[in-house]
């Protein structure tokens, strides 16, 4: 079997999706499934839809086009501010987009008129993450401009947290966002269908019993893909962390020492003559590196330790003498490692559809870490 590869257990993924969707729906919040980490893979996206997400969200137009070519017809929202140069394509394949720049909205409106469409606009508000967003005091004026603009329709507002600056969402943030939604509607009328509170980092707030106010949508990717809280890294209760697994092949195994065995007149040769040291850990080299994934985002299997990596080699120390050249090793990934592995051209993909069979490493954790109930 080809390696390196990412193996996707669709049964575990659907379990994660249904768990999050069920818990948030009970709080009056719908889930928009974010597909950017899976590069818009159509089968995985359909698993999200099967699990009950209200629609899909993407950051890259190429991934949206991939979904459309595969026959995915659900609503798709572009969550990165559209490029001016892509306005026509955005309107063609996306029902809506998140926006911060009036010049871009004007271009989207013109493209929509040319295509005899109405494109949905969700305005992003800056609430402390210091990435994208309209400053709150300008939100009402920009909303009025959108309402009066033919070709587009103001569909909602949203905010982002815990991405660039690491500002975690809390009850006060969400109350402020709800108040901003009310202010917009006082100026523009009852036009907001969506008030999107943020991403996976919002789950502790959303499920902690706070009043949800106007917040009726979260954009969820990491939590349903990896079953973990992006702020703490803890496993979410009742969910699987191993729906995605990175598999790599061992291409060398040896015990190496930095001490030369003999004396040489040529100091360079002495440095090259290395001998095994029985007290040292066996070193494994795997055919994967920085070009393929975020190495620091990999969890080393028990009995193994990361030594280092280069562009296409991963070096680890192991206590498992049975591992040989040609053996495969399996790694769990964080969100950064998953995104890079899914986008890497030399990393394959294997989809597993079998039913969930609980085992020690993969059983959803229901009694420790972040138990979102």
Average pLDDT over residues 173-181: 96
Q: Is the pLDDT of residue 264 over 90?
A: no
**Higher per-residue confidence, 58 vs 368:** 58
Q: Is the pLDDT of residue 90 over 80?
A: yes
**Is domain 244-352 annotated with CATH 2.40.30?**
yes
Q: Is the pLDDT of residue 250 over 60?
A: yes
The pLDDT of residue 102: 97
The pLDDT of residue 256: 65
**Strand stretches in 197-313, DSSP E:** 217-220, 244-254, 282-286, 298-299, 304-309
Q: Which residues contact 331 (CB under 8 A, 6 or more apart)?
A: 245, 246, 247, 248, 298, 299, 300, 301
Helix (H, G, I), strand (E, B) or coil at 304: strand
Determine the Cα–Cα distance for residues 334 and 103; give it in Å rounded to an integer. Answer: 36
User: In this predicted model, what pLDDT tens digit does every residue of 193-246 receive, in sequence order?
Assistant: 999 999 999 999 999 988 999 999 999 999 999 999 988 889 999 999 999 999
Domain 10-226, CATH: 3.20.20.10
Average pLDDT over residues 107-123: 98
Q: Is the pLDDT of residue 61 over 50?
A: yes
Average pLDDT over residues 258-283: 56
The pLDDT of residue 277: 52
Determine the Cα–Cα distance for residues 162 and 209; give it in Å rounded to an integer. Answer: 21
Question: Across all residues in the chain, what is the average pLDDT?
Answer: 90
The pLDDT of residue 278: 52
Q: Which residues contact 270 (CB under 8 A, 6 or more apart)?
A: 260, 262, 263, 264
Q: Is the pLDDT of residue 372 over 70?
A: no
Predicted TM-score (pTM) of this structure: 0.88
The pLDDT of residue 128: 84
Average pLDDT over residues 121-146: 94
What is the location of CATH 2.40.30 in the chain? 244-352
Helix (H, G, I), strand (E, B) or coil at 46: helix
The answer to which of 104-118, 145-159, 248-262 has the lowest mean pLDDT is 248-262
């Amino acid at each position: 079997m080809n390696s390196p590869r990412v193996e996707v257990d669709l049964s575990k993924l659907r379990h994660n999706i249904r768990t999050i969707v069920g818990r948030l729906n009970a709080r009056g919040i719908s889930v928009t499934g974010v597909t950017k980490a899976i590069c818009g893979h159509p089968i995985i996206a359909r698993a999200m839809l099967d699990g009950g997400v209200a629609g899909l969200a993407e950051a890259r137009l190429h991934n949206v086009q991939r979904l459309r070519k595969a026959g995915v017809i659900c609503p798709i929202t572009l969550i990165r501010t559209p490029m001016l140069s892509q306005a026509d394509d955005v309107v063609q394949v996306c029902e809506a987009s998140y926006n911060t720049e009036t010049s871009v909205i004007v271009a989207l409106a013109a493209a929509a008129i040319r295509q005899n469409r109405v494109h949905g606009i969700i305005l992003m508000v800056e609430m402390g993450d210091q990435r994208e967003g309209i400053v709150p005091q300008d939100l009402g004026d920009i909303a009025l401009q959108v309402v009066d603009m033919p070709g587009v329709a103001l569909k909602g507002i949203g905010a982002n947290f815990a991405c660039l600056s690491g500002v975690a969402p809390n009850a006060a943030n969400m109350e402020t966002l709800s108040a901003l939604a009310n202010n917009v509607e006082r100026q523009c009328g009852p036009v907001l269908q969506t008030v999107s509170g943020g991403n996976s980092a919002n789950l502790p707030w959303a499920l902690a019993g706070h009043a949800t106010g106007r917040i009726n949508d979260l954009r969820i990717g990491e939590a349903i893909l990896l079953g973990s809280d992006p702020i703490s890294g803890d496993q979410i209760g009742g969910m699987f962390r191993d729906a995605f697994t990175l598999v790599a092949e061992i291409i060398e195994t040896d015990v190496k020492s930095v001490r030369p065995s003999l004396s040489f007149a040529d100091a360079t040769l002495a440095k090259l003559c290395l001998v095994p040291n029985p007290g040292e850990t066996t070193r494994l080299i795997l055919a994967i590196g920085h070009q393929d994934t975020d190495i620091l985002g990999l969890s080393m299997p028990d009995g193994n330790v990361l030594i280092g990596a280069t562009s296409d080699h991963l070096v680890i120390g192991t206590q498992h003498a049975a591992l040989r050249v040609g053996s495969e090793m399996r790694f769990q990934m964080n969100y950064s490692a998953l995104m890079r592995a899914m986008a890497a051209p030399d990393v394959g993909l294997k989809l597993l559809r079998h039913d969930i069979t609980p085992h020690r490493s993969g059983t959803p954790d229901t009694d420790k870490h972040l138990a979102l109930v």
